[in-house]
Amino acid sequence: MSTWSPEVLEVLEASGWTAGRRVDTAGWRSMFEGVGICMHAAAQEFLQEFGGLAVSHGGPGISRAREPFELDPELAWGEEDRFSQWSDVLGRELFPLGELDGGRFFLGIDENSEIYLVETWVASFGVMPRALENLILGVMPRTIDDGHEQL
């Protein structure tokens, strides 16, 4: 998918990632489709490669603290309304990816492979593969000012 920097590669490999990794996404697909959130191709592709990884590093980052995150959509179960509402507001289809900072925030991905921090507000970590680098290296996500009230 990408040529990772040595630092990002080290973090990914320490979390269990290997080149060519493939995870079965059928369980996540059926779980969320049952409540009206469809797994688009970008979510499937991302989760096949990175689903199930837990990145536990912390400390200073580039423009924010490095926070642990876990790429398991099941951790966002019960938050379907939040993902559906933000999908409607943004005009994008957000699919849950997991959680950031021990469940303080959720992570989602849209059909263009853009990764979002999802809370009562949303922010973008950018488009893959840069988005995953930004998460790992501690780059502040760009808050999306959509002119709407926070949900």
> In angstroms, rounded to a whole number, what is the distance separating the alpha carbons of residues 7 and 9?
5
- Contact in structure between 89 and 125 (CB atoms under 8 Å): no
Burial of 46 (0-12, 13-18, 19+ CB in 10 A): buried
pLDDT digits (tens, 9 = 90+) for 4-43: 999 999 999 999 999 999 999 999 999 999 999 999 999 9
Q: Indicate if the pLDDT at residue 147 is higher than 70.
A: no
For the whole model, what pTM was predicted? Answer: 0.93
pLDDT, tens digit (0-9, with 9 covering 90-100), for 62-114: 999 999 999 999 999 999 999 999 999 999 999 999 999 989 999 999 999 99
